[in-house]
Every structure is written in structure tokens, then in C-alpha cells.
Chain A
Amino acid sequence: MSRIGVFVCHCGLNIAKTVRVSELAEFAATLPDVVVAKDYKFMCSTPGQEMIAHDIKAHRLDRVIVTACSPLMHEQTFRKVLAASGLNQYLLTIVNIREQVSWVTHDIDEGTAKAKALLNGAVRRARLLAPLTSRVIDVNSDVLVVGGGIAGIQAALELANTGKKVYLVEKNSTIGGHMAQFDKTFPTLDCSACILTPKMDSVLQHKNITLLTSCEVSEVKGFVGNFDITIRQKARYVDHTRCNACLACTEKCPGKAVSEWDEGLVKRKAIYIPFPQAVPQKPVIDRDACTFFKKGKCRLCEKVCEQKAIDFEQQDTFTTVKVGAVIVATGYDLMDTRALIQYGYGKYPGVYNALEVERLFNSAGPTGGKVTLRDGKEPQAIAILHCIGSRDKNNYEHCSRVCCMYSLKFAHLFKEKTSADVYQFYIDMRAAGKGYEEFYNRIIEEDVKFIRGKGARVAQSADEPDRLVVEAEDTITGKFIRLPVDMVVLSPAIIPRGDAKDIARLFNLSTDRYGFFMERHPKLAPLSTMSEGVFIAGVCQSPKDIPDTVAQANGAAAEALTIVVKDKMELEATTAMVNPASCCACQNCVRVCPYGAPFFNEAKGVSEINEALCKGCGLCASVCPPSAIIARHFTNDQVLAEMEGLLEF
């Protein structure tokens, strides 16, 4: 016999518009064990909370049901009310009649009926709830940052400056990410390397940062406060503890491969550093391009290395680090525009993608900063095509957000470095950002020609075979135009890294339909994920510019800090346990648990659950054939009672 109080929230008109709330409260009063039922305009307000606290005392309640919004919003609020009134917080039940009822119907009869069914189930379940005790666990104070672009660098530095130890994992042989490829940054046109390389160097020098380049996360165990992360150190074939970065090896090396750093515009050596300011500035061997690995002889680098740092026997190694929180900042790729054959990328040498052009402008790039075509000539007319593959129902519907601005930057740099005519083919200009509109106006003044119309096709010119023609509809004049140019720059859709899916799987992140990592809440928790203790920053979440990326990185660092700044943290008490008398030792629980909490006790012949690792997701309970696993707070009895209550309607 329990004493249940039911509190029905109107949420202004959010709920009251499509649920007859007073009728719901009257209905609640008729249900078994319900001793008080009330409705109120805003249950989460101070008077609302005080009403619940008062009734707990006045009616000696031992269960409280609040029918209101999603438990994600106010479960904690009402739990505190219970705790302050001397009730165990797990004796609270939230019935979500807003997101799951009032917001999904326009029909007040339908809404009221569904709310009654949910409440009927909740009352049946509430009677069986048991008080639970939260667990307190130790928190590891270190943080893992995945991805060494500007987002990862910024987050790592911020955290390291607070005194926390940071592991920065980067899969390439240097940190820097895409920003290190750029020449100038919009809208201020300051030199990208000049603002980035000091940060890269700070990472290297910082006593609190362990920089792990050529590394990938291969396994994630545990959860918030206590992650066990296995990191694969890929073989570099160069012992970085011995190498003194004299780079004699890179001069002698006969092996060649396309330079990823220069977007394939030039070749690099098989033993190489990607670019002059690389951090760490120590070479690695590209096994696929190395003459020794391919043909079995060469070893020239080994001969010239005075430090005896070359080690062809090196193998991948695995290390495990323990951290309390994780920041994922894995960045982006550009869409492969070869699939869009109408633009001729990969077919016509005059067609470039945006990152290639970044390298053309860069003084450390393949042309030393001169803008020349692949045949060495200077272009006379250049077309920049916006929204290639993005804002496109056939490919990616999202706006890549930075293309308008970098296209303006390109126009400016083309004007500065060549005497070419520059044309922008755009759908509409999106210059929302501090100083962006001003930058747009400045570029208009610079005699750049703006054609409002998406580039439809790039073809070889019939009259001059070494030139190209851009076809488009100018939507201002309504005329179809064919513009002869020497160079076409495509602004491709920005998409998540090719291996973002693997990262999502490792860290249990959800992704949107394009593969960008999902935030916990688009407005109020934009850096958190559904995986507690794992935060996201930068373009891996959605396309954004450098200022926003850096702001997110700082935010993610602060979020991570809120976890690792504490020695201990309280965890939900809703863990699972095994009833050994019923366990059939099938070990399904061991196989399905994403957190590695269940293990098989060979001596006893039954599965057991390490509660420190259990997140209470309930997967094990659902795959346990003899229902030997009890998910606390969601026991079979409780769930079945709730279902029976629901199905009475």
C-alpha cells in the first residue's frame, strides 16, 4: 500500500491546449493508491515545487508522479524536491505528456486519452518502485582530445592551462589540421600559419599535454569519469626519441608519393614531414611509398641517419590511458566532387577544389604562393562556383556555411596575386558573422563580378580547347550565360571525416543523416552528446568557421572540466544486477554490453555485473533469456505493471 501524489502541469498552454489537465487530475484521483491529485500552471516554478513539497508532508506521500515535460528537462528539478522533503529521489516518476502527447496532436480528446493511459501505467509502476542509493565514484582528472586540428589544439591548451593532463590524439603525423593548409583567414585576412603555429608549438611544449601523433583510438571502455581508452600508435619507422630532425633522410629518399598536405598537387618523399612547421617536426616513413618496403632494398635514409633513428622493424603498438572525459574534434573532409561529372573535376585540369586553391595561395605550397594553372600559366579569368554538392537535394541538403566567405577571400587573393577577372557564381550570399558583411562589401568594391545563379556545368570551350566554359542561369537578369574562363574553383560540400562512423561507434555517439555528430540538445547542450562525458567541438558537429570552432573548443574544454575538476561524482543508481540462481551462463549480457560491465565468473559459472561500469541502459536485461538480470528502476515487474496499466486503455 503506497501513498501516491499526482501533479499535473499545464506548461502554460503547451500541455493545456491539447490535454484537458483538470480532467486528467480528476482521473488520477480515482486510481489506486493515489491520495492527492492536483493540476497547476507551471509545476516547475517555485510555487509549483513548494506545492509538491507541502503535499508530501501534508499527505504523507511516499510516491510522487509529475505529469509534465520530458524527464530530460525537469527530472532533476523534481528529484531535488523529493530529496529535500525526505523522500528517496527514485520514488519520483515523470510522465511526459508534453513531447509525447500534447505536442504530437491537435486533438484534445486524443491527447487527454493518451495522457490518461500513460498516467494509468505510471501509477501501476510507481506502486512497485523501490528506493535506490546513488553511487559515488572516483573521477580520473585527465582528458582525452581526439583530433589535432584547431578545435582539438584549442581545447587541449585550455584544459592543460587549468593544470589538467591532456592526451591529444592525432591520426596524421602532425597536428594542425585543415587550418594549417590555409594561407589567409577571412574576414581579417591574417595569415593562418602565423596564428596557428604558435598554438601548435605550445601544444608540443606544454608539460600537461601528451601529444600522440600517428595515433588512433582503437577501443573505448568504461564511461564518464573513468574511461579506459586504448590507443594504437601506428608504426612510423622512425624512432622519434632519437631523431634530431636534421631531415637528411628526406633529401636522400628516392620514394615518391602524392602530398596529402598539398592536396595531391605535388609529390612528396616516402620519408617526410608534411610541411615545414609540422609538429612534431620529425619525419615518418610512408610504408606504401617506401622503396625498401616495396622492393626489399634501398635503406638510404638509414645510411644517412647519424642518430640511427630509422627502424624498419617498428610495429604498431597499443597503449591504454585512463581519462575522465573526452573531447571529440575530428573535423571534416570535402565531398569528392568527381562524382558530380557536370563540373569536370578530375577531368579538366583547370578545375580545382577549394582546398587545392588554398594550397596555391600558400607560400609553403606547391607553387610557392603563385597562382598558376597546372600547366604553369597564369589564369586570365577565374570562376568560383558556390554550393557544389551542398544545399543540393541530390547530394547534401545542408549549407556548408564557410564557402561564401572563403570564396570572397579567394576572390580577394586572386585579385591581389593575378590580373585575372574573377566571377562568383552563387545561390545567395551568406555573410552572417562579425565583420563578414563588411568583408563582402569590401570585395564587391574590388571589381569582383557576382553572378546570382548556381554554376550548372563546366565544359571544354569549343573555340579555345585549352579554356573552359561555365554555364549558368543568371537569376537576376533571367538570362542563360556561358562564360569562358581558365580556372574553375569548386566550393564542395563539407562532410564528416570518412572514418567519423567508426569514431561514433567507439564513443557511442549518434550522428545526423549526413554523419555529423549529434549534440545532446541543439540549443542548450550543443557540445554534449548522448554519451555522458564525451563532448564534441568543431566541424565534426556541423560546418562552421574558425571563430565558432575555437569558441566551441573552449566550451567543450569547460564542459570537460566540469567533470574532471571533481574528485568524485555521483552516478545514477539505476544499474543492473544478476540473480545468480536464474543465470543460465549464456553470456549474452557480456556480448551486448557497450560498457564492458558484465563478465563471466568461471568459478561460479554465472555472469556478474561490475556496477562501477554499468550505465543502466538495460540491454543485458533485455537479452537475458531466463530474465536473471534485474535492471534496477526498470525491473520486469515494474515494466510489466506499467504496460498492463497502459493496455487497459
Chain B
Amino acid sequence: MAISFEQIEQNLKTEARKLLESGKVSLVLAYGRGYDENHPMPYVAKHPSDVDNIVFNEYCTANLARYLTRYPRRTKIAIAAKAADSRAVVQLIQEDKVCREDLVVLGIPVYGMKNFKTGEAIDSKTTGGLSNPVLYDILLGEEVHGQPVSSPYDVLAAYEAMDKEERWAFWQRELGRCIRCYACRKACPMCYCDPCFIDQNKPKWGEKSPESPGNLMYHLTRFHHLAGRCIDCGECSRACPVDIPLYLFHKKVAKDCEEMFGQAAGMSIGDKPVLVNFRVDDSDKILE
């Protein structure tokens, strides 16, 4: 860790205060204290006096890019963004949901974030293998280097070892446990549809009660809607009250997508959203 969580918190407060006082932004998306300090919550600072409520520690995993699309277009927003969060920001810019010039990205280079439920380090599972933001205006610390380099897809090894039937049985079992609280959808920065397809009645795409066919319809379609867009923050899995490892499916699709089209989601604002952008030299493997 190049820099301590306390220092990041201090830097975050300093920059947030400067931005709000100068009027450059009308709000800062950051973290505040939850019911105890191990459970920080997303916090929106709108006034310089709010800045004292900002915290940052190893449990601040929530992806604040989730909240960018809640504000009217053209709202000037500063956002605290870790590596995966910054990819979400980039992906949202690619999709023209937010404008680059309306954002001040406060990049957080960080390693050693923990799952607030289990205390387990999340770096090897869901950060896309990155420690440093891919896009920022102000970096709240020095870039992190020297951490063990792991492929974001290493964690797929056990899943990929399963054959087709085993995978189908695995997901039927896992998704069968879903209680349809939609926390995954709420936590996801890329899930901005309103209404979500599953909430529609005409046509009714799937049953709304927490039973298997409707659960499969909801999750498989959501996986499909996030293909080429999931930026691997892992928030869906951490938000899930019944601990369904949703990140496995997203990662597998992200891997396939990267292998087929040579592009990972949210890595560069110059990229175009990969699955709705046709190139003559695109792989036809997807049709096989």
C-alpha cells in the first residue's frame, strides 16, 4: 500500500472541499459512515460543510458510478473512483450516459479492499486485476505498483473446468436461491434501465415471484445485457444477501468478449461499446 486509507480520506476531503467551495461541481459522490465504521455507505456531499462526513476505509467497496446516472444530464459531479469504478465511469462515457466534461474524477489508487460481510480481500476476485484508476482528473495518492500481477480471469479456473451440464446445474442451483430483491441491479453502475425489462407487464418477460424459471429469465437476460459492459467491480455479488456468485458469469462473458473482439469494457473513452459496434474484421466466433 503506497498510501494509507487515512491519507486517502484526508486527500478526498481536501479535494472535495476545494471543488465544492469553488463551485466547480454541485456534488461530490463519496463515502460516509454507515451504522458502524465497517459498514460505510455511499454519501453525497453537496455543501462544503458536508465534507467532514466523508470517510474512506478498506470497506468502501461500493461503486459510486452507480449514482452518476441518477442526476440530470449536465450536472457537474465529482466522483471518488477506485480502479473498477473508474472503468464504470469510462463505460458510461462511451455509452453517452454522462459527459466527460461534466465530471471530475477523483482517482483512488488502492489495494487491499475488503468485503464488508466476510472481511475477505477482494483484489484477486473482482477488481479486474487493477489497482489504479484508468481515468482520473486528480489522483488521491500515488499509483500502486508491485502488487502480485494476477489475471482477472484466474478466478474462473474452477468454473471453466465444469462441462456444459455441470454449469447449467450450477446456475440452476445458484440462481434458484435468488429472492428477487434486485440488490444486484441496484448496485450495478451499468444497470440504469428504468423500467428494467423484468418489471414490464406487456410483454411479461418472466415471472416476478422468486421461482426458478423467472429467476433464470431475470439473471440470464441481465448477464446478456451486461455482456461487453460489465467492468468487474463485483458489487452485484457483494450486494447479494444470499451470496450468489454472479461475478463468475460476468467474468466468463467478459473473457469471451475480450478474446473475440479484443476489447475489455471501460478501458478507454475512445472505444465504442463493443457489442453494438460493427467492424468488418469482427470475429464471427460468436455465431458458432
Contacts and interface: CB of A to CB of B under 8 A. Distances in A.
Interface of B is mostly: loop
Contact of B73 (A586, A602, A623): A602
Interface in B247-288: 272-273, 275-278, 280
A461 interface: no
Contact of B97 (A586, A637, A640): A586
Given A501-B280, A582-B200, A591-B277, A600 B195 contact: no
Interface residues of A, number: 21
Contacts of A502: 280
Interface in B74-118: 95-97
Interface in A488-519: 501-502, 505
B203 interface: yes
Interface string A567-605: 000000000000000101111100110000000101001
A582 B195 CA distance: 6
Contact of A587 (B96, B197, B275): B96
B196 interface: yes
A501 B281 CA distance: 11
A640 B272 CA distance: 31
A90 to B, nearest CB: 20
B67 interface: no
Contact of B200 (A588, A605, A627): A627
A626 interface: yes
A505 to B, nearest CB: 6
A591 B194 contact: no
Contact of A588 (B203, B276, B278, B280): B276
Interface residues of B, number: 22
A625 B278 CA distance: 18
A546 B278 CA distance: 37
Given A586-B193, A637-B203, A600 B96 contact: yes
Given A505-B280, A587-B96, A637-B202, A626 B195 contact: yes
B276 A584 contact: no
A636 interface: yes
B140 to A, nearest CB: 31
B194 A592 contact: no
Contacts of B205: 627
B276 A605 contact: no
Contacts of B153: none
Nearest to A628: B193
Contacts of B195: 582, 626
A501 B202 CA distance: 41
Nearest to A602: B73
A626 B196 contact: yes
A584 B278 CA distance: 22
A592 B225 CA distance: 15
Interface in B176-219: 192-197, 200, 202-203, 205
Contacts of A637: 202-203
A584 B193 contact: yes
A636 B201 CA distance: 12
Contacts of A636: 203
B203 A625 contact: no
Contact of B276 (A501, A591, A627): A591
10 contacts: A586-B95, A586-B193, A592-B276, A592-B278, A602-B73, A623-B275, A626-B196, A627-B200, A627-B203, A637-B203
